[in-house]
């Protein structure tokens, strides 16, 4: 039963990553379009989940005592390459807590081609690492991608560098989180006059 459960968790993560890339197949204008100051563009949702996938693969690699090269985001110095100010990218440079109007400018600066390229690298690295996880790894306690906290009444988000989770928690969170943002991208595609559904 544990093997079946782990198989389906992995499958949901891999599928969500595919859906996110598929949902990003728009024009550059559609990729960066915002409908209001409170609704970030399609490109932001892709980047946000790509950052979490990058963080997840790094955290798991570190926990499993493998080589600890940094996240792809930092290895390739992408803020410098794209001319984006890291100070304005929110908690852990993931977009968490970033004002939505700032999110639009971030996506404009980075550009669709760059962001999709990063997302594909991040998702591929995450998928490869998730695929290697065994049932014995699931309950390992570590400082994973849930190392932050927030106030839902104000929208404030802040880092909690020592906050622990388990690998199982992080996998379930990433599957749900990715699917939720893919759904937001579907809705935005529909508002832009494109076929919204990317799951069939």
Q: How far is CA 35 from CA 48, 54, 184, in A?
A: 18, 28, 13
Per-residue pLDDT tens for 16-65?
999 999 999 999 999 999 888 788 999 999 999 999 999 999 999 988 86
Does the structural domain 2-191 have CATH classification 1.20.120.450?
A: yes
**Angstrom distance (rounded) from CA 166 to CA 145:** 10
Checking phi first, is residue 93 left (phi over 0); if not, alpha (psi -120 to 50) or beta?
left
pLDDT tens digits, 140-165:
999 999 999 999 888 889 999 999 99
Asked if the model's pLDDT at residue 197 lies above 70, the reply is no
158-186 pLDDT per residue, tens: 999 999 999 999 999 999 999 999 999 99
Q: Where are the domains of the chain?
A: 2-191
**What's the pLDDT at 153?**
86
pLDDT, the chain, mean: 91
């Amino acid at each position: 039963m544990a093997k079946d459960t782990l198989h389906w968790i992995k499958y949901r993560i891999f599928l969500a990553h595919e859906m996110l890339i598929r949902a990003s197949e728009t024009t550059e204008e559609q990729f960066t379009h915002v409908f209001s100051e409170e609704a970030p563009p399609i490109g932001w949702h892709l980047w946000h989940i790509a950052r979490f996938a990058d963080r997840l693969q790094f955290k798991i690699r570190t926990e499993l005592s493998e080589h600890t090269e940094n996240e792809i985001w930092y290895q390739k110095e992408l803020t410098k390459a794209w001319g984006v100010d890291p100070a304005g990218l929110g908690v852990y440079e993931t977009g968490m807590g970033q004002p939505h109007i700032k999110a639009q400018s971030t996506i404009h600066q980075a550009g669709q081609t760059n962001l999709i390229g990063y997302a594909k690298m991040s998702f591929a690295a995450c998928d490869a690492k998730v695929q290697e996880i065994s049932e014995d790894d699931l309950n390992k306690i570590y400082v994973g991608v849930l190392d932050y906290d927030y106030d839902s009444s104000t929208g404030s988000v802040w880092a909690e560098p020592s906050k622990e989770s388990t690998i199982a928690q992080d996998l379930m969170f990433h599957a749900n989180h990715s699917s939720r943002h893919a759904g937001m991208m579907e809705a935005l595609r529909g508002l832009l006059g494109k076929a919204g559904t990317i799951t069939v």
